[in-house]
Chains A and B, each alone.
Chain A
Amino acid sequence: MNKIIRVAALSGALALALAACGSAPDDDAASPSSSMTPGAGASSAAPVDFKACMVSDSGGFEDKSFNQSGAEGLERAGAELGVATNKVESTAATDFTPNIAQLLSDKCNLIIGVGFLLEDPIQTAAEANPDVEFALVDSAFSDKDFKPVTLENGKPLLFNTQEAAFLAGYVAAGTSKTGTVATFGGIQLPSVSIFMDGFSDGVKKYNEDFSKKVKLLGWDKDKQKGSFTGDFEDQSKGQNIAKGFIDQGADVIMPVAGPVGLGAAAAAKDAGDVMIVGVDADWYDTAPDYKSIILTSVIKQIGQSVFDTVDQASKDSFTSEPYVGTLENKGIDIAPFHDLDSEVPADVKAKVEELKTQIITGDLKVESPSQN
């Protein structure tokens, strides 16, 4: 009996709650099958007969890192260019090939793979489907003997991340009061250690220019060994590792570990006078809780490169020419110093601008074993 009353009361409450919520839209707007093509429904631009698709690597599209940046670029393309889009998530490396096969049967015109792990699956698919265009984030294509190859219908999207990380390392070394800076990564992948290589070179360059001895913790470029938390998820690991660095005197830390870096930011904030260098996006905007301690960020515009590739391909001007994000084309960049502008010595600022120009003109080469 009790049960019946309870059920009746619950359903009554639910009915009231739902009935209060809204009225039916007009018939023509509500047909459930009308907007089955993703992107087309939400587009503000005139629909274009083009379908751009994306496969994530095993991080998934909500990784707060490169998969997410890629997906945002694709969504923006869907909204602004009016192209249809479709994106599929992989849960493991074994999912890549079947996912690409599904997108091919979904009649995608352009398929973008996010992450170097997709190199082989994308390359195989590109060779088997010459009339479909492919792009690959963070890796170039290579043949069986590991020589770089160019595919007619395959475009690598690469980033000279080390150039921007170099400038960030320079600024960090120049701003540090304790003479110790630090960096750490999530997992030792080329797309992670490329940040750390650049950072390391930047610190070295500062020491040469100003004859200082700023110490870098967490990465040894020559040995390619350093500190890693082991994943891209566990923020408490980032917090612990950052605390360790702070205890050793570091006062600028660059965490290259996606969301794990927020743990480091928390540790830095607790410590009081420690600054953070963000990665991938300008953390001043994406992590507003830590605004006051973000010295700068190493920005990597994956979303923009995806958007540009979709834009070109949808206008029939797809080329297999690699897109290389550089300081010159702003595919990579360092963020403004925002609130900490006054902390950075003027001579360091001037020098950074000078170095930036030198890198752009090619007078200064910043290299990393992880670059493609």
Chain B
Amino acid sequence: MSSTTPPMPDAAVPPPADTGAEPVATVPGSEENRGQTVMREILASSWVVTTLAIVLALVISGVLIAAADQEVQDAAVYLFAKPADFFSAAWHAVSSAYVALFQGAVFDSTADTFAQKIKPLTETLTVSTPLILAGLGLGIGFRAGLFNIGAQGQIILGAVFGGFIGFTFDLPPGLHLLLCMLGAAIGGGLWAGIAGVLKARTGAHEVIVTIMLNSIAVYLVAYLLTTKPFQNPGSSNPISPPIPESAQYPLLLGDQFRLHAGFIVAILAAVFVWWLMGRSTVGFKWRAVGSNPHAARTAGISVNSAYIWVMVTAGALAGLAGSAQVLGTDKVLTADVAASFGFDAITVALLGRSKPFGTFLAGLLFGALRAGGFAMQARTGTPIDIVLVVQSLVVLFIAAPPLVRAVFRLPAPGTRRTRTPRSSTKEVAA
């Protein structure tokens, strides 16, 4: 066991006692906190593990779908008298649920017209837009060593700023939209900047601060929607006036589809983040801070200003995610404009290993799960919560690569080539 120990438990006992096989992700400097070790471990896991984690999550959710199905429950009562019934019912429940999930997320073969057949795919892209944008922002934070939980609040503030500019002012098309987007980015950036400044100036932990800012944002928007400037004239319902067309993201594929230009913004943002983190000096500094703040400080990088600007950038991207909702998909500001996007985006960023392209793909996957979940619920009566279970299980497995490796008997990364994979997996599994 000891020679192939997964790095995580090892890192908890610094300094590593046995140096026989150096664990890959052992943290230099024992002051590093454990969270960053876990973070690095997650980022270091391979594509294979990621894919297998998704497969594993779908399999376990399949069991849950079968267990929750009335037919299956009925058949289970006489399992031994007639096992075929049980298995066919279980197969039927699981396969029809996943078929509906696919039909709702990618291609609906049951629809009449071609437009309706491909509509699910456009829905997936629409739903994934805020996830990608917020996920990109979070990814920047993760790579700079900041565990930003606050995307939810930043999305809300982005939506509030963007929405307010949208429904209050009357401006020419184009300019209006740009101003709204700018406002959304500033709103999200400011909100995240609070956590960044507190972290830089006082050392307040960003996890705590961003969680608290989430709660404040939730109640802030709820309060704002009870005030006159944010309400429909003549109504006391907590819904804002609709966003005028001049401030809406234009639809990309015509009236039939909800897909809007926010998706283009998401693509551009992904390219921008790729350039920022991979090609620019600023990104290099931020990554250096993420790898080892002490070394970065010694090398002359201002760690504090990096913390602030990382948070502001992350918040601006989350704010744009809010604009995608309020200016594109919903076209109105409500109290749950952020739905659970801020939290799902954490998963998206982790699944995408905080890389822009990975986050983009992970966003598409989660968008597909969400969009497909509606069809699954409507067509097969499968509770929509199953989608949440799939997402949560994916995170669980991503966060525990040794578990996935053990299930699929994969060798641990960093295992010496001289060892046969067989003997090492045996030890892991034991």
Interface residues of B in 222-250 (CB under 8 A from A): 222, 226, 232-239, 242
Q: A92-B336, A116-B237, A369-B236 are in contact. Are A106 and B379 (CB under 8 A)?
A: yes
Q: A23-B81, A146-B232 are in contact. Are A88 and B377 (CB under 8 A)?
A: yes
Which chain A residues border B335 with CB–CB below 8 Å?
Answer: 93
Say whether A360 faces chain B, with CB atoms less than 8 Å apart: no
Interface residues of A in 180-201 (CB under 8 A from B): 187-190, 193
Q: A32-B85, A33-B92, A189-B237 are in contact. Are A93 and B378 (CB under 8 A)?
A: no
Which chain B residues border A91 with CB–CB below 8 Å?
Answer: 339-340, 384
Q: Which of A14-22, A170-178, A306-314 contacts B (4 or more CB under 8 A)?
A: A14-22
Which chain B residues border A24 with CB–CB below 8 Å?
Answer: 78, 81-82, 85
Say whether B389 faces chain A, with CB atoms less than 8 Å apart: no
A103 and B378 contact, CB distance less than 8 A: yes
A44 to B304, CA, bound (A): 70
B239 and A117 contact, CB distance less than 8 A: yes
Binary contact track B324-338/A, C-beta < 8 Å → 1, others 0: 010001101011110
Say whether B40 faces chain A, with CB atoms less than 8 Å apart: no
Which chain B residues border A116 with CB–CB below 8 Å?
Answer: 237
A187 to B222, CA, bound (A): 9
A32 and B89 contact, CB distance less than 8 A: yes
Task: Among B78, B329, B384, point to the contact of A94 (Cβ < 8 A).
Answer: B329
Q: Which residue of A lies closest to B234 (CB)?
A: A146
Which chain B residues border A99 with CB–CB below 8 Å?
Answer: 374, 377-378
Task: Among B78, B104, B258, B332, point to the contact of A120 (Cβ < 8 A).
Answer: B332
Say whether B208 faces chain A, with CB atoms less than 8 Å apart: no
Task: Among A38, A119, A120, A189, point to the contact of B381 (Cβ < 8 A).
Answer: A38
In this complex, how many residues of chain A approach chain B with their Cβ under 8 Å: the count is 47
Assign chain B's interface to a size class: 35 or more
A305: min CB distance to chain B, Å? 19
Say whether B79 faces chain A, with CB atoms less than 8 Å apart: yes
A15 to B78, CA, bound (A): 11
Residue among A32, A91, A187 with max Cβ neighbours from chain B (10 Å): A32
Say whether A139 faces chain B, with CB atoms less than 8 Å apart: yes
Say whether B123 faces chain A, with CB atoms less than 8 Å apart: yes
Say whether B10 faces chain A, with CB atoms less than 8 Å apart: no
Task: Among B71, B81, B377, point to the contact of A32 (Cβ < 8 A).
Answer: B71
Which chain A residues border B379 with CB–CB below 8 Å?
Answer: 102, 106
Binary contact track B73-89/A, C-beta < 8 Å → 1, others 0: 00111111110010011
Task: Among A58, A106, A146, A224, point to the contact of B378 (Cβ < 8 A).
Answer: A106
Say whether B125 faces chain A, with CB atoms less than 8 Å apart: no
Say whether A152 faces chain B, with CB atoms less than 8 Å apart: no
B274: min CB distance to chain A, Å? 28
A221: min CB distance to chain B, Å? 13
B337 and A93 contact, CB distance less than 8 A: yes
A23 and B340 contact, CB distance less than 8 A: no
Say whether A12 faces chain B, with CB atoms less than 8 Å apart: no
Say whether A89 faces chain B, with CB atoms less than 8 Å apart: yes
A106 to B334, CA, bound (A): 28
A22 and B78 contact, CB distance less than 8 A: yes
Interface residues of A in 68-98 (CB under 8 A from B): 86, 88-89, 91-95, 97-98
A97 to B258, CA, bound (A): 10
Q: Which residue of B lies closest to A14 (CB)?
A: B79
A236 to B232, CA, bound (A): 34
Say whether A30 faces chain B, with CB atoms less than 8 Å apart: yes
B377 and A93 contact, CB distance less than 8 A: no
A314: min CB distance to chain B, Å? 20
Q: Which residue of A lies closest to B338 (CB)?
A: A92
Q: Which residue of B lies closest to A147 (CB)?
A: B234
Q: Which residue of B lies closest to A142 (CB)?
A: B235
B80 and A117 contact, CB distance less than 8 A: no
A98 and B233 contact, CB distance less than 8 A: no
Interface residues of B in 369-406 (CB under 8 A from A): 371, 374-375, 377-379, 381, 383-384
B116 and A105 contact, CB distance less than 8 A: yes
A117 to B110, CA, bound (A): 30
A92 to B81, CA, bound (A): 44
A88 and B334 contact, CB distance less than 8 A: no
Say whether A65 faces chain B, with CB atoms less than 8 Å apart: no
A89 to B116, CA, bound (A): 22
Which chain B residues border A92 with CB–CB below 8 Å?
Answer: 336, 339-340
Say whether B216 faces chain A, with CB atoms less than 8 Å apart: no
Which chain B residues border A94 with CB–CB below 8 Å?
Answer: 127, 325, 329-330, 336-337, 339
A12 to B232, CA, bound (A): 65
B330 and A139 contact, CB distance less than 8 A: no
Q: Which residue of A lies closest to B241 (CB)?
A: A146
Interface residues of A in 318-347 (CB under 8 A from B): none
Q: A19-B80, A21-B78, A120-B332 are in contact. Are A30 and B374 (CB under 8 A)?
A: no
A102 and B375 contact, CB distance less than 8 A: yes
Which chain A residues border B337 with CB–CB below 8 Å?
Answer: 93-94
A369 to B234, CA, bound (A): 10
Say whether A370 faces chain B, with CB atoms less than 8 Å apart: yes
Say whether B12 faces chain A, with CB atoms less than 8 Å apart: no
B334 and A93 contact, CB distance less than 8 A: yes
Binary contact track A140-156/B, C-beta < 8 Å → 1, others 0: 00101010000000000
Extra A-B contacts (8), CB below 8 Å, given A35-B71, A99-B378:
A19-B79, A24-B81, A24-B82, A30-B82, A38-B381, A58-B336, A93-B334, A101-B374
28 A-B pairs in the complex with CB atoms less than 8 angstroms apart = A18-B76, A19-B81, A24-B81, A25-B78, A32-B75, A35-B71, A88-B374, A89-B377, A89-B383, A93-B330, A93-B337, A94-B127, A94-B329, A94-B336, A95-B374, A98-B123, A99-B377, A101-B374, A102-B104, A103-B378, A105-B111, A105-B378, A117-B237, A187-B222, A189-B237, A190-B237, A193-B236, A224-B236
Binding site for A on B (CB under 8 A): 71, 75-82, 85, 88-89, 92, 104, 108, 110-111, 116, 123, 127, 219, 222, 226, 232-239, 242, 258, 325, 329-330, 332, 334-337, 339-340, 371, 374-375, 377-379, 381, 383-384
Closest 3 CB pairs of A and B: A92-B339, A102-B378, A24-B82
